[in-house]
Structure 1
């Protein structure tokens, strides 16, 4: 199969792109049909200018190849080439707040298990293995950024701390105690300076970890593709099938639905969202105003602990000179200067604190790149920032910091499910992810994010593996999910797509009286008006005593009819599959995500199985992962590729000039398409289309239209 070389790679979670020059070096992942070693030998013989930077022969049959675009084009024409993948970008998922420590959980668990003899791999920014709390447990690893045996955190420019923090939550054994303080710790550096990396490094790190025999692998990284079809997700699934428990952070794109990103969309991974403990959080109040604003400190900031009232001065995006901000809080708009430079400029001008509000709707998580200044810096939403600008800056009002009580809850930044295409509930469960205190190079600091929640579960998995060496990844995941505690909000529970099965309960998971296996509880998408779903739930009694199992009807919802098993006896050590029927009448159901819990008691112990389905349509994006690639050197042919979450009646792809947004050409017109990958080839010859464009993919389904815009660069014909 002849493939195209990517002229525009998709770098997820990073904005901006351009087309490389013919002689510019890029990296792609090439899947082949022959053994990888044979392909590499032939490639190196025929194309000496190309460099093989990674070989995959465990989870994928592929190689990552770096070199000039025109040489890669020739290599892609080799008969053995089966497929190619754009190199996607991954980054860490963290920010910062008031400390919470794994000491709390270990004291509550009262267990003698410490993870002894269990191998845990941390795929991240590397680990400072010289840290006194980590050096005893560190056993080695690999650096898939520099491709050597030294997975140390990045130092100097672009210095990182993330992987060391994650490693401490899992296995610190010193002044701080991690979840599994005697586990064997391995580091796989897949994210380089600034905490950035690509699928080349992530897949290579997964391969290294599996080949090194890791029992547990932690992935506190992610992108924003809410679908199950990306190469990294497939690699995660394969790693689990080969015996590793893979724990993935859900992402920090909450509180909107459909924001869990790959590889956390993996069906087999344990996907972890973040919960916050009952605590007090800083908020800002203005005299005479009822409204208060909760603030979220940036990663690397000192805690927000102002005791006095202060005036607020507005400084735009920070480019202009700032001479005197003594005794003020400086309010910036996001954009222009990096966060650290804004904060540093304010500090040098004498400011007491820094606030940065978003330049688009919603909240954001950011950091100071590992650098510290003595004043706190925090983020606001655009709405909050504009309100503060109007009420405090323009009306010359002073603001006061107050501490507000906050109950345990799903952290607002924690990404929500479900997942498109396979329509699964994600995350699987929650763990503490707000203001988690852990190790960093040279000391300790609190960070927050689902990156901090995931290693709690990785450490928990290590304890389970020590306690039950013969358990499979499926059994370990089931123990964590079956024993989780559904989190109750004020007046009602949080939704399954917010919390999965709930907050993990380590003590219960170590010796679970019963496990439930919910793989056959996926309901999917409902498009007919009358449908029946036949589901199955497997119950496994882990005790020697028989228990009576009693199901309770889910909360009554018009349009749903549940057929649940009658009470029955589950003998000691018996495994039983029970049938569950669900009748749906779309005429009475609201469109969108319908979700809840199927609950039952076994021996008086309550269990809650999350379920969800989509009725007719919802708010997820139908088109994602759009790629546009072009042949070199002539550039006469181009290939398009994207993921479609639902079948459609028709698709049109138009090009609009970047900037003016004037229509330029219609690239593609397609008829009916099934869900999944949509790809094809188009001619750009003699169309005078050189330049930057916005490609608008318009879909038609049932008389309705929706459109999605993606940046595209087309090189002129040569």
Structure 2
């Protein structure tokens, strides 16, 4: 919980290559207390080191404090007190990607709202991100407050100056914008928790502290459109998410943008109880404009609030750059961006008889504008400066008419969307898909299209807010199972996308609000098969939420040599009744090829078919054995460096060698660990290095398992 509000710099910034504080400059670090309660530690600090100040106490998600003081005083604290550990400082980033090339077919996607009377009213949604521009006209009504754990104050505004950010405002708009643009849950109460600072960068200390603040403030749903590359379920941020869910908060996490390779879902999206969201691209026909006889095609980028571009015949062009609109009747008017608002320009052209307006930007960047509530009966689009100059040259000056064609984009999975499974738990992730390609939403000063799993996650957060309004007594588990049970599988040309690509499928919010059937768990994770004869049973609870009796039949999976499935026989459930049904897999590993085996078990009912993803793994080397390597100065010991890394399984040996970046000259072996444990490994290194050797290096981690060696490299700066 919060006690005092003061401007601070987190410990993580000191360890990430940012400028070091001056000896007399006060900074703040967040530390975990391993063997001491917060109140006892605070009293000891106040009595032994009165120059230090405990500015925040944490006791919900983790046991720790934020302490302010000079570097010298803070070093005294960590030397004097045993059981202190600063949290890992792995960098977290926003999960969005550069926009697709603007010549691509798939352009922009509006927010997908279900056809429902629910609006998220009364539901508290916390956005843990880069902050929110709470002055945006589409957000200021629903913005209710929050906290900033980067600057440690109660003003979680987006970074507006050096390192300016837009991400949190975009995410918040998808969830709960209520103005010219409508979010998924336009009446939800929005709270911002700024954990990512300038440039959209932050650390686990800030993320964990933000989760603590959000849970303490009573959030019903939390959105985390951020992550790292640690593919494991036991990283501290993942554990913090698990704890938040245990305390009753639904947590939605972006899967990450490291796809399309498998094993790329990163913490905290690896949390087994969080709703992990991948990014889908929607099926749509997009208008394209071109000049007859020219090969070039220009995508139509409509301004927010515009009528659709539906021309099916060639249209004459008019250069309205000087805003002289005489003679524009029946024509498409090109006009350059200037001081006059877009809506005013378009209205003037419409009043003179224009059929459409194209605004030419003053740069070669896409222009995402708004009609500012003006309901014109003609479409208004935007093009870049270079595209506009070309249209004037080839269309107006050469007296050519503009032609509109249509191109179709299929419903699929964005290539950047991270895939599962999760190492160590060997489980299916993501859980669900939502729109994540070129999604238009709020940003400081207007609107913009962004893409990434960062854009997909808030769609699910908004859906969770609607479900919470519809079912206020539902737990995070209930909300997750409703979303997964009602999802629709995405198909591709040669069959169905894999569970580790789409989880339960594409979200169907309308059905999730009033599901007829709930399946729990939402996926059958049989884990890693190590013994020759393997047998495992998972019990699935099937609940009939509908008003009619319902009969279920489980389709027997195709039998294979060495693999046998035992599934329940047909069963009938009365309204409100539930049953626990066993699903068992038996196999002789000798007959099964190595790798990840996954698919869907189909449960047929009287009115609809349901599906359960399943996964088991026979020994494979396709996943990274180690991730998240950190080398940093440890404030609580006299050693030069401390290390941390995540190991996906037990190994015979791990070594870390250091190579100079650029020349790759070997500088020596830092660490040799025999029989390292699975999960988080950490320790200290006595490295006596002169300043002349400081700089960038490559750390090569070698993992030895059953006489096989696997090498992984990480850039580090010492």
Instruction: Give your verdict on TM over 0.5.
Output: yes
Superposed CA deviations along residues 433-474 of structure 1, whole A, max 9, x for unmatched, are 112122222222222111111111111111111111111110
- Contact kept, 8 Å, 2:87 with 2:204, in 1: the verdict is no
1:165 to partner: Cα distance: 1.5
Superposed CA deviations along residues 80-130 of structure 1, whole A, max 9, x for unmatched, are 52433232322222244622212xx33xx3211111111111112222222
Q: Establish whether residue 492 from structure 1 lines up as the match of residue 495 from structure 2.
A: yes
Counterpart among 163, 170, 175 of residue 175 in structure 2: 170
Q: Matches of 2:479 and 2:459 in 1, distance apart? A: 14
Q: Establish whether residue 31 from structure 1 lines up as the match of residue 32 from structure 2.
A: yes
1:241 to partner: Cα distance: 0.9
Question: Kindly tell me: are residues 111 and 10 of structure 1, through their superposed partners in 2, closer, same or farther at Cα, counting changes over 3 Å?
Answer: same
Question: Kindly tell me: are residues 76 and 705 of structure 1, through their superposed partners in 2, closer, same or farther at Cα, counting changes over 3 Å?
Answer: same
1:509 to partner: Cα distance: 0.7
Counterpart among 702, 708, 711 of residue 704 in structure 1: 708
Question: Which deviates further from its counterpart, 192-201 or 163-172?
Answer: 192-201
Q: Matches of 1:467 and 1:420 in 2, distance apart? A: 35
For residue 432 of structure 1, what is the aligned residue in structure 2?
Answer: 435
- Which structure 2 residues correspond to residues 442-481 of structure 1 after superposition, within 5 A? 442-481=445-484
For residue 115 of structure 1, what is the aligned residue in structure 2?
Answer: 120
TM-score by length of 1: 0.76
Q: Matches of 2:363 and 2:126 in 1, distance apart? A: 42
- Contact kept, 8 Å, 1:353 with 1:376, in 2: the verdict is no
For residue 483 of structure 1, what is the aligned residue in structure 2?
Answer: 486
Question: Kindly tell me: are residues 697 and 352 of structure 1, through their superposed partners in 2, closer, same or farther at Cα, counting changes over 3 Å?
Answer: closer
- Contact kept, 8 Å, 1:28 with 1:85, in 2: the verdict is no
1:131 to partner: Cα distance: 2.0
For residue 676 of structure 1, what is the aligned residue in structure 2?
Answer: 679
Q: Matches of 1:26 and 1:595 in 2, distance apart? A: 50
For residue 94 of structure 1, what is the aligned residue in structure 2?
Answer: 96
Counterpart among 512, 522, 527 of residue 525 in structure 2: 522
- Which structure 2 residues correspond to residues 190-229 of structure 1 after superposition, within 5 A? 190-229=195-234
Q: Matches of 1:163 and 1:574 in 2, distance apart? A: 42
Indicate the SS of the match to 2:496.
coil
- Contact kept, 8 Å, 1:540 with 1:575, in 2: the verdict is yes
- Contact kept, 8 Å, 2:90 with 2:628, in 1: the verdict is no
Q: Matches of 1:268 and 1:604 in 2, distance apart? A: 29
1:351 to partner: Cα distance: 9.3
1:612 to partner: Cα distance: 1.5
Question: Kindly tell me: are residues 34 and 508 of structure 1, through their superposed partners in 2, closer, same or farther at Cα, counting changes over 3 Å?
Answer: same
Q: Matches of 1:499 and 1:542 in 2, distance apart? A: 25
1:590 to partner: Cα distance: 2.7
Question: Kindly tell me: are residues 81 and 258 of structure 1, through their superposed partners in 2, closer, same or farther at Cα, counting changes over 3 Å?
Answer: same
- Contact kept, 8 Å, 2:528 with 2:619, in 1: the verdict is yes
Q: Establish whether residue 507 from structure 1 lines up as the match of residue 485 from structure 2.
A: no
- Contact kept, 8 Å, 2:12 with 2:203, in 1: the verdict is no
- Which structure 2 residues correspond to residues 165-564 of structure 1 after superposition, within 5 A? 165-279=170-284, 374-375=384-385, 405-518=408-521, 521-564=524-567
Question: Kindly tell me: are residues 564 and 212 of structure 1, through their superposed partners in 2, closer, same or farther at Cα, counting changes over 3 Å?
Answer: same
Q: Matches of 1:578 and 1:471 in 2, distance apart? A: 23
1:27 to partner: Cα distance: 6.1
Unaligned 5+ segments in structure 1 are: 1-8, 284-291, 298-304, 308-349, 355-371, 378-400
Question: Kindly tell me: are residues 27 and 656 of structure 1, through their superposed partners in 2, closer, same or farther at Cα, counting changes over 3 Å?
Answer: farther
- Contact kept, 8 Å, 1:70 with 1:632, in 2: the verdict is no
Q: Establish whether residue 153 from structure 1 lines up as the match of residue 153 from structure 2.
A: no
For residue 395 of structure 1, what is the aligned residue in structure 2?
Answer: none
Indicate the SS of the match to 1:477.
helix
- Which structure 2 residues correspond to residues 620-659 of structure 1 after superposition, within 5 A? 620-629=623-632, 636=639, 638-659=641-662
1:702 to partner: Cα distance: 1.8
For residue 57 of structure 2, what is the aligned residue in structure 1?
Answer: 55
Question: Kindly tell me: are residues 48 and 627 of structure 1, through their superposed partners in 2, closer, same or farther at Cα, counting changes over 3 Å?
Answer: farther
Question: Kindly tell me: are residues 212 and 680 of structure 1, through their superposed partners in 2, closer, same or farther at Cα, counting changes over 3 Å?
Answer: closer
Superposed CA deviations along residues 510-549 of structure 1, whole A, max 9, x for unmatched, are 1111101117832111223331122221111213433211
Q: Matches of 2:68 and 2:711 in 1, distance apart? A: 34
State the superposition RMSD in angstroms. 3.9
1:581 to partner: Cα distance: 1.2
- Which structure 2 residues correspond to residues 44-83 of structure 1 after superposition, within 5 A? 45-47=47-49, 52=54, 54-65=56-67, 71-83=73-85
TM-score by length of 2: 0.76
